[in-house]
């Protein structure tokens, strides 16, 4: 009821912080309603980490194998779990019991863990406020709608169960600092983020090049001094994170846990990336060769079997090793590294980082479909710049959210996930089209934008030309219609016609179809980066 | 319409608010975890921890106190006052421990009630698809009426039949005769939930949209339609009762909304038919009957040929009833058999702790002991009619659109407050017309909604829906006070400080009641103390609101209002 009073009091001048509170509280209400919904094994993973960090001493954290869900995140995340476990033990001591707590599913643990995610999301909300606080109100609110009410975050964090909100909050904080020219702070926060979840390291080359050119410049002495400062700060963060393990001489074990290369090229469910095409091409080629009469190595159903395989047996095409994927990611990232080297502009850093994550997603090793959040959420912040951006973001966000559908496979969540995506798409369509099409809206919102551009010298947004309107064209429209067809096939027609045959065909279809969308988005981002002055 | 505030998009667009409503409905239909003992435990734990801390500090402080006394005599008073404070805190803790936390054993009384509405609805599906229509209301070897016998009018039976067929298609064992009793499989529950969700979106949503269309046409000023839609569709009481507790109120209420919209658009015959449908889905819709009756009669009396108009309406009503009751009209015995099922007088004048007149005053007068059931029936009937009389007379004398909406609130209020055998859930009925009036009376609507939720709180706690309750209430409050949500051109006058203060106190006390109800045990002598306090608070608010809406309806007739001005132009 406090929000009741606060909002009613200041309902006229609309203080941005109160608006932010309104947005995040509305989303929290929805999240609370989602507490009893489906949760994946990640829930038990995080509960087990609570137990490990609480009941074992620090040197044993990375050695414990009581549960198959061993600790495989960097130390800061372990510290974070330790912090949470202090409260968990107050609420229900069984949560943090290593043995008794295994697969513990009482109301208390569900409630507690879900609430920690909901509360940690406020960090993301604040970060979004930080980065958008200088934009004009209309734009700002819409970005909030895109991020705070993001269905993808709801699905991954609040149903599937993860702490992406907190991590993305850190990422956006760091980007916000970079955009404002506080390079040291940006690097510092990014170092912290890396010690929370090392998967974010994909953007490290961009950070490295950008900071080297933007921060460590201006003469030999000054540049060297700044390199030293930055290096010290980053090393200090890493020392705090890894120091205790270094002290106990366990650094090898920690690294081993963090990088399990034993896993296959693709996750259980194929993330919609380049390797889906590769595998599919291999399958088709093998099939054709067999028809012609060549003898090929039978690959078996290891890709479609839904298991986390440890090898990637291709029958025709060359095998893919982690090193290959690593090189490919770096190679595809080169254009943006080159741009960052040549002209490190703060206002472009967000695209470069998003592009780096896109490269990591499209060409990476053992990519999770959830990783698409890493670039979809940051791109939301620049989606309101012009009509083309908006069109691109509309497609990307829809596709990436749709690609998360297989995470929630239970019938109970079906209406929720469909309606969440529909609501999100309608909201985006409505918001983008009211801003980027129709002369009335354009002329009405022009003065405010100009005023804003003057007030923020740092951020000179490209002014919207009249012809860059929001619209996805007939190609985009037919692609989205195809999405509907894929969904209808997977949900209704497949069980009707094929019964139990080819059980993974619907998933395969979703992967391939979404991979096309993500690939297009990657190309779009690449051209944007190359073409931008 | 220029939408300057994009962020209100969540509900500044009808489609959006509608789909939000669907999402919220589906989510609340999870039958979420309640705030059970284990969840209240944290408070206890924290308290114990702080106590331990305090205890250790007390020891320390006593030592310090001694040393202080020895060396510096003057701060002695200060330290001892701190000690006093700490003792006070410990006393509170003792008290808390005395009443003990959690609600484990307290609600055992309710487990006696087997299953509840969910099983009732499922059982009706089982009965209707396996027996012939004439058997539905008759006690027989295959239809044991004492086990959740069908006691709603025929339309509910038909609806159960349709839904039963659907369930049979996907999960035959969930509706097979006899063997399916108490069936609660995952798929069975899910399908049942989806029948409510679908009937909500097929009946209630279109009816509300119809009402909104008519409303826009009638009001010539700029109004925020989307806010109104959000208020009507995201009404937490309806959502939590239909999709949490499990009932099909959305159908009868949707039909009523349709009838109201038809009346506002001057289609009296359609309105009659729709209202008869509503009446035949749940007899509770009769709460609105006086308003409908008097408004339509008043309209007819003002026509050139009143008799013709009345007989037209009468024919429609008769025809609708004839169609719906067709299977039971072949003999008087069958007809009376159904009728007797619909009026369960044996249950007594009130149930549990409903915030109406009889239950509240029973604290002072033991109505059940003072009077026989017969005289109580008569008493409640006359009280109901007497209290609804003013609004009826007003509608007869000067039927107006706005007045009709107020009359609906008033007649349903007088039924809720004074009629025989009222259930907590019946507060949905006064809530519906007041939600339609949300743009006219935002304060009344918000207030009524808050206390309606509170009045159902004990019931919902029994259903373990407290988590959904909290989030739905918070969501509603947020939407109600959304920045830029209710752009009313007529600047509502600021309430005086005194009124604001009283309101704040009432809201605060209701919130405190929530917390107390969740966390504490009542004293042994008065096991239902908290329910009684909630009931008293809610009753006082409902009675005040009823008085207000009655006077409002009467003062309306003096000055012509926007809706009727428009009508004259038409």
Enter the tokens of residue A499.
């019964």
Q: Nearest 5°: CA angle at B70, between B67 and B75?
A: 75
Whether A14 contacts chain B with CB within 8 A = yes
Chain B nearest-CA residue for A94: B38
Chain A hits for B187, CB-CB cut-off 8 Å, are: 411
Contact (CB<8Å) B27/A426: no
Q: Which residues contact B75 (CB under 8 A, 6 or more apart)?
A: B68
Query: Phi and psi for A265 in degrees, rounded to 5?
Result: -65, -40
Question: Residue B12 — very low, low, confident or very high, per pLDDT cuts 50/70/90?
Answer: very low
Chain B nearest-CA residue for A17: B483
Chain A hits for B20, CB-CB cut-off 8 Å, are: 423
pLDDT in tens, B434-465: 999 998 888 999 999 999 999 999 988 888 88
Whether A419 contacts chain B with CB within 8 A = yes
Q: Which residues pair with B350 in a beta bridge?
A: B422
Counting Cα atoms < 13 Å in the Cβ hemisphere of B368 gives: 13
Residue B447 near residue B537 (C-beta atoms within 8 A): no
Q: Is the ipTM of this complex over 0.95?
A: no
Chain A hits for B479, CB-CB cut-off 8 Å, are: 26
Q: Which residues pair with A367 in a beta bridge?
A: A266
Counting Cα atoms < 13 Å in the Cβ hemisphere of A406 gives: 25
Please name the member of A4, A22, A37 whose beta carbon is closest to the beta carbon of B483: A22
Chain A hits for B1, CB-CB cut-off 8 Å, are: none
Residue B535 near residue B360 (C-beta atoms within 8 A): yes
Contact (CB<8Å) A29/B471: yes
Whether A431 contacts chain B with CB within 8 A = yes
Q: How far apart are CA A353 and CA A207, in angstroms?
A: 8
Enter the tokens of residue B46.
């924290």
Contact (CB<8Å) A415/B477: no
Contact (CB<8Å) A30/B508: no
Min Cα distance B210 → chain A (Å) is: 22
Using DSSP, state whether B274 is helix, strand or coil: helix
Question: Residue B94 — very low, low, confident or very high, per pLDDT cuts 50/70/90?
Answer: very low
Contact (CB<8Å) A30/B31: no
Mean pLDDT taken over chain B: 79
Please name the member of B7, B41, B49 whose beta carbon is closest to the beta carbon of A141: B7
Please state, in angstroms and as integers, the Cα–Cα distance from residue B56 to each residue in A86, A103, A315, B89, following that order: 20, 37, 71, 14
Question: Residue B48 — very low, low, confident or very high, per pLDDT cuts 50/70/90?
Answer: low
Chain A hits for B4, CB-CB cut-off 8 Å, are: 138
pLDDT of residue B219: 81
pLDDT in tens, B272-303: 999 999 999 999 999 999 999 999 999 999 88
pLDDT of residue B296: 94
Query: Phi and psi for A216 in degrees, rounded to 5?
Result: -95, 55
Q: How far apart are CA B148 and CA B165, in angstroms?
A: 19
Whether A233 contacts chain B with CB within 8 A = no
Question: Token match 């195809």: residue?
Answer: A482
Chain B hits for A110, CB-CB cut-off 8 Å, are: 33
Chain A hits for B507, CB-CB cut-off 8 Å, are: 1, 4
The average pLDDT across B224-229 equals: 84
Stretches where chain A sits below pLDDT 70 are 1-14, 261-262, 268, 296-313, 438-468
Query: Phi and psi for A367 in degrees, rounded to 5?
Result: -85, 140
The more confident residue out of B367 and B23 is B367
Please name the member of B23, B475, B481 whose beta carbon is closest to the beta carbon of A420: B23
Contact (CB<8Å) A33/B28: yes
Whether A129 contacts chain B with CB within 8 A = no
**Short-list B86, B61, B82, B167, CA closest to B124:** B167
Min Cα distance A10 → chain B (Å) is: 9
**Contacting A residues, span 447-506, partner chain B, CB-CB under 8 Å:** none
Please name the member of B4, B7, B36 whose beta carbon is closest to the beta carbon of A142: B7
Chain A hits for B26, CB-CB cut-off 8 Å, are: 415-416, 419
Res. B568: pLDDT tops 80 = no
Question: Residue B100 — very low, low, confident or very high, per pLDDT cuts 50/70/90?
Answer: very low
Q: Which residues contact B11 (CB under 8 A, 6 or more apart)?
A: B17, B20, B226, B227, B229, B230, B479, B482, B485
Contact (CB<8Å) A107/B46: no
The more confident residue out of B558 and A490 is A490
| Percentage above 70 pLDDT, chain B | 75
Chain B nearest-CA residue for A415: B26
> Residue ranges of the domains in chain B?
37-101, 116-181, 187-569
Q: Using the 8-state DSSP alphabet, how is residue B200 labeled?
A: I
Q: Which residues contact A452 (CB under 8 A, 6 or more apart)?
A: A134, A135, A136
Q: Using the 8-state DSSP alphabet, how is residue A271 labeled?
A: P
The average pLDDT across B489-495 equals: 56
Using DSSP, state whether A417 is helix, strand or coil: helix
Min Cα distance A89 → chain B (Å) is: 9
Res. B5: pLDDT tops 70 = no
| CB-CB neighbours of B495 under 10 Å | 12
Chain A hits for B9, CB-CB cut-off 8 Å, are: 145, 427, 430-431
pLDDT of residue A244: 92
pLDDT of residue A308: 42
The more confident residue out of B346 and B429 is B429
**DSSP character string of B420-438:** SSB-GGGGHHHHHHHHHTT
Contact (CB<8Å) A149/B38: no
Greatest mean pLDDT among A377-391, B72-86, B373-387, B403-417 lies in: B403-417
Chain B nearest-CA residue for A24: B478
* Dihedral of the alpha carbons of A76, A80, A85, A91, in degrees to the nearest 10: -170
pLDDT in tens, B415-431: 999 998 888 899 999 99
Q: Which residues contact B153 (CB under 8 A, 6 or more apart)?
A: B279, B280, B281, B282, B283, B324, B338, B342
Q: For an interface test with A, give the residue of B9, B15, B233, B476 to mutate (most A CBs within 10 A).
A: B9
Q: Which residues contact A512 (CB under 8 A, 6 or more apart)?
A: A272, A276, A277, A280
Contact (CB<8Å) B22/A415: yes
Whether A227 contacts chain B with CB within 8 A = no
Task: Kindly tell me the sign of the dihedral angle through the C-alpha atoms of A40, A42, A45, A47.
Answer: negative
| Residues shown for chain B | 570
Res. B471: pLDDT tops 80 = yes
Contact (CB<8Å) A430/B470: no
Q: Which residues contact B3 (CB under 8 A, 6 or more apart)?
A: A434, B9, B12
The average pLDDT across B453-478 equals: 90
Contact (CB<8Å) A33/B30: yes
């Amino acid at each position: 009821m406090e929000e009741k009073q606060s909002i009613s009091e200041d309902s006229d001048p609309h203080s941005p912080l109160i608006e932010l509170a309104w947005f995040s509280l509305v989303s929290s209400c929805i999240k609370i309603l989602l507490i009893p919904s489906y949760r994946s094994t990640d829930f038990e993973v995080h509960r087990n980490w609570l137990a490990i960090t609480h009941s074992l001493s620090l040197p044993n954290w990375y050695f414990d194998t009581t549960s198959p869900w061993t600790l495989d995140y960097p130390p800061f995340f372990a510290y974070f779990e330790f912090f949470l476990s202090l409260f968990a033990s107050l609420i229900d001591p069984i949560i943090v019991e290593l043995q008794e707590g295994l697969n513990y599913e009482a109301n208390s643990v569900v409630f507690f863990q879900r609430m920690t995610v909901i509360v940690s999301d406020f960090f993301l909300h604040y970060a979004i406020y930080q980065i958008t606080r200088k934009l004009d109100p209309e734009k700002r609110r819409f970005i909030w709608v895109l991020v705070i009410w993001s269905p993808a975050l709801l699905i991954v964090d609040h149903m599937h169960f993860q702490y992406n909100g907190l991590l993305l909050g850190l990422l956006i904080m760091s980007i916000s600092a970079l955009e404002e020219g506080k390079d040291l702070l940006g690097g510092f926060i990014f170092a912290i983020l890396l010690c929370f979840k090392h998967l974010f390291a994909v953007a490290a080359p961009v950070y490295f090049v950008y900071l080297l050119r933007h921060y460590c410049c201006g003469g030999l002495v000054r540049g060297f001094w700044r390199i030293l400062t930055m290096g010290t700060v980053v090393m200090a963060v890493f020392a705090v994170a890894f120091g205790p393990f270094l002290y106990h001489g366990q650094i090898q074990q920690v690294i081993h846990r963090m990088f399990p290369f034993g896993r296959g090229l693709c996750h259980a469910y194929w993330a919609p990336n380049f390797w889906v095409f590769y595998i599919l091409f291999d399958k088709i080629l093998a099939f054709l060769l067999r028809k012609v009469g060549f003898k090929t190595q039978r690959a078996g159903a290891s890709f479609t079997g839904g298991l986390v395989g440890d090898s990637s047996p291709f029958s025709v095409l060359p095998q893919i090793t982690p090193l290959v994927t690593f090189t490919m990611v770096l190679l595809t990232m080169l254009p943006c590294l080159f741009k960052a080297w040549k002209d490190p502009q703060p206002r472009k850093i967000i695209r470069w980082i998003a592009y780096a994550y896109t490269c990591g997603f499209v060409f990476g090793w053992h990519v999770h479909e959830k990783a698409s959040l890493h670039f979809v959420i940051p791109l939301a912040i620049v989606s309101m710049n012009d009509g083309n951006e908006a069109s691109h973001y509309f497609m990307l966000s829809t596709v990436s959210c749709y690609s998360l559908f297989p995470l929630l496979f239970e019938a109970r969540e079906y209406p929720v996930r469909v309606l969440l995506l529909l609501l999100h798409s309608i909201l985006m369509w409505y918001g983008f089209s009211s801003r980027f099409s129709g002369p009335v809206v354009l002329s009405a919102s022009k003065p405010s934008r100009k005023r804003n551009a003057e007030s923020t010298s740092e951020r000179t947004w490209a002014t919207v030309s009249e012809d860059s309107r929001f619209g996805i064209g007939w190609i985009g429209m037919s692609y989205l219609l195809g999405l509907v067809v894929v969904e209808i096939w997977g949900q209704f027609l497949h069980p009707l016609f094929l019964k139990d045959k080819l059980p993974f065909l619907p998933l395969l279809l979703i992967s391939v179809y979404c991979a096309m969308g993500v690939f297009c988005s990657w190309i779009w981002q690449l051209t944007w980066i190359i073409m931008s002055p | 319409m220029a939408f300057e505030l994009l962020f209100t998009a969540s509900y500044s667009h009808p489609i959006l608010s509608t789909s939000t409503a669907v999402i919220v409905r589906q989510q609340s239909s999870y039958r979420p975890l309640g705030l059970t003992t284990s969840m209240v435990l944290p408070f206890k734990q924290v308290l114990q921890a702080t106590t331990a801390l305090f205890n250790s500090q007390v020891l320390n402080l006593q030592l310090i106190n001694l040393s202080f006394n020895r060396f510096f005599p003057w701060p002695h008073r200060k330290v001892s006052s701190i000690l006093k404070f700490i003792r006070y805190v410990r006393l509170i803790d003792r008290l808390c421990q005395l009443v003990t936390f959690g609600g484990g054993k307290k609600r055992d009384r309710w487990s006696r009630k087997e299953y509840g509405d969910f099983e009732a609805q499922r059982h009706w599906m089982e009965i209707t698809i396996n027996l012939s229509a004439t058997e539905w209301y008759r006690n027989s070897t295959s239809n044991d009426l004492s086990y959740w016998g069908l006691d709603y009018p025929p339309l509910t039976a038909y609806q159960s039949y349709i839904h039963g067929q659907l369930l049979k298609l996907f999960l035959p064992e969930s509706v097979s005769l006899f063997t399916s009793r108490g069936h609660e499989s995952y798929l069975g529950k899910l399908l049942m939930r989806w029948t409510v969700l679908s009937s909500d979106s097929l009946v209630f949503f279109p009816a509300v949209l119809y009402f909104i269309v008519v409303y826009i046409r009638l009001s010539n000023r700029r109004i925020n339609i989307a806010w109104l839609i959000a208020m009507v569709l995201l009404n937490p009481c309806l959502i939590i009762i239909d999709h949490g507790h499990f009932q099909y109120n959305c159908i009868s209420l949707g039909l009523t909304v349709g009838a109201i919209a038809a009346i506002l658009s001057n289609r009296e015959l359609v309105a009659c038919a729709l209202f008869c449908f509503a009446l035949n889905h749940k007899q509770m819709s009769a709460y609105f009957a006086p308003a409908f009756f008097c408004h339509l009669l008043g309209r007819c009396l003002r026509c050139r040929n009143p008799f013709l108009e009345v007989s037209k309406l009468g024919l429609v009503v008769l025809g609708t009833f004839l169609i719906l009751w067709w299977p039971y009209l072949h003999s008087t015995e069958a007809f009376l058999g159904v009728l007797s099922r619909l009026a369960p007088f044996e249950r007594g004048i009130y149930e549990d702790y409903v915030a109406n007149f009889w239950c509240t005053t029973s604290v002072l007068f033991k109505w059940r002991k003072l009077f026989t059931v017969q005289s109580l029936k008569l008493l409640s009937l006359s009280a109901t009619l007497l209290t609804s009389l003013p609004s009826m007379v007003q509608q007869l004398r000067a039927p107006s659109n706005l007045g009709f909406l107020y009359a609906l609130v008033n007649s349903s209020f007088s039924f809720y407050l004074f009629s025989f055998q009222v259930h907590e859930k019946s507060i949905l009925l006064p809530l519906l017309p007041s939600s339609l009036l949300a743009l006219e009376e935002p304060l009344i609507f918000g207030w009524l909604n808050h206390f309606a939720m509170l009045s159902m709180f004990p019931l919902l706690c029994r259903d373990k829906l407290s988590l959904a309750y909290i989030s739905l209430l918070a969501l509603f409050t947020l939407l109600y006070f959304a920045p830029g949500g209710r752009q009313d051109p007529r600047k509502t006058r600021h309430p005086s400080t005194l009124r604001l203060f009283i309101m704040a106190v009432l809201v605060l006390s209701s919130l405190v009641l929530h917390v107390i109800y969740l966390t504490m045990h009542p004293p042994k002598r008065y096991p239902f103390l908290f329910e009684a306090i909630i009931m008293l608070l809610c009753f006082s608010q409902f009675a005040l609101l009823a008085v207000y809406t009655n006077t409002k309806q009467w003062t309306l007739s003096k000055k012509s209002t926007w809706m009727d001005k428009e009508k004259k132009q038409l």
